[in-house]
């Protein structure tokens, strides 16, 4: 089996990486950062997110395994003191996996070639200085004209990230849906939006048509997961469920609602 070990630069993660590399060499794994079958990430959810983007063109060949060196994350199943158990699981690998949907982002501009991105968590579009105005289309039909700070479009796995902080719903990742959540919308007697998160089916898509003049588009900020793109002359953004999916090696993938409970609620206080 060809394995890549992708760790963040922290001293603890680098130490775990060295230990794991030695154990894998001792058991005759092939360490291959270019064309791996398994990518083991060491750090946290941010590290796995970085690894996802690094290997985004090889998703059909790769399964991910996350080792956390801090708090339990939504993408990291193993603790750093369970390396021996992880190696045993890799040795007895049966190639089973669990897969989750990704977000396809297609951006068109006024005077340049379109851009295409994949997001594991979410994509946002915001104005950095004043109100953003955009027409929102669902499945090609105009739904509303949004005015406010911005919009967040997330995957089910990303529903627990930035989406949750702006009032979006938490969605189980077995559902192939998108979520559209508003960021600081303006609602009064003149301007109207739905003002609620929207769950969009997999056979539909979301199109945002930016209404600002070219001059006013200069302070737009597009984000795709942790990457930000400024001062782009964006005319339209289309979001849909991607054809690609992310796959995790299914050795002991933790229950989603347990992750949610542990991350946001914690232990019972006994009352």
Q: Which residue matches tokens 């060295």?
A: 18
What is the rounded CA–CA span in Å between residue 189 and residue 102? 37
Quick one: how many helices (H) and strands (E) in the chain? 5, 16
What is the rounded CA–CA span in Å between residue 102 and residue 247? 11
Asked if 184 contacts 149 with a C-beta cutoff of 8 angstroms, the reply is yes
What is the rounded CA–CA span in Å between residue 271 and residue 268? 8
Catalytic positions are 45
What is the rounded CA–CA span in Å between residue 253 and residue 224? 26
State the chain's maximal CA–CA distance in angstroms: 70
Return the beta strands (E) in the chain as ranges.
2-7, 30-31, 38-43, 63-68, 78-79, 97-109, 115-119, 122-127, 132-138, 141-154, 178-185, 198-200, 206-210, 220-224, 227-230, 234-249
Asked if 64 contacts 48 with a C-beta cutoff of 8 angstroms, the reply is yes
């Amino acid at each position: 089996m060809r394995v890549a070990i992708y760790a963040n630069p922290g001293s603890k993660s680098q130490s775990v990486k060295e230990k794991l590399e030695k154990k894998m060499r001792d058991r005759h794994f092939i360490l291959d950062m270019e064309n791996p079958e398994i990518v083991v990430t060491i750090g946290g959810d941010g590290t796995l997110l970085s690894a996802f983007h690094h290997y985004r063109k090889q998703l059909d060949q790769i399964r991910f395994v996350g080792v956390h060196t801090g708090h339990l994350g939504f993408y990291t199943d193993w603790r750093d003191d369970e390396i021996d158990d992880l190696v045993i699981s890799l040795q007895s690998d049966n190639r089973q996996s669990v897969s989750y949907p990704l977000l396809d982002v297609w951006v068109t501009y006024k005077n340049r070639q379109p851009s295409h991105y994949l997001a594991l968590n979410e994509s946002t579009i915001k104005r950095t200085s004043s109100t953003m105005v955009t027409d929102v289309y669902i499945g090609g039909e105009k739904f509303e004209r949004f005015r406010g700070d911005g919009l967040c479009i997330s995957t089910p796995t990303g529903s627990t990230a930035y989406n949750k902080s702006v009032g979006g719903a938490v969605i189980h990742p077995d559902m192939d849906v998108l979520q559209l959540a508003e960021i600081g919308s303006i609602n009064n007697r003149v301007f109207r939006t739905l003002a609620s998160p929207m769950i969009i089916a997999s056979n539909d898509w979301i199109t945002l048509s930016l209404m600002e003049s070219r001059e006013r588009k200069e302070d737009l900020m597009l984000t795709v997961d942790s990457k930000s793109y400024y001062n782009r002359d964006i005319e339209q953004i289309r979001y849909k469920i991607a054809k690609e999916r992310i796959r995790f090696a299914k050795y002991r993938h933790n229950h989603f609602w347990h992750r949610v409970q542990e991350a946001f609620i914690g232990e019972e206080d006994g009352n």
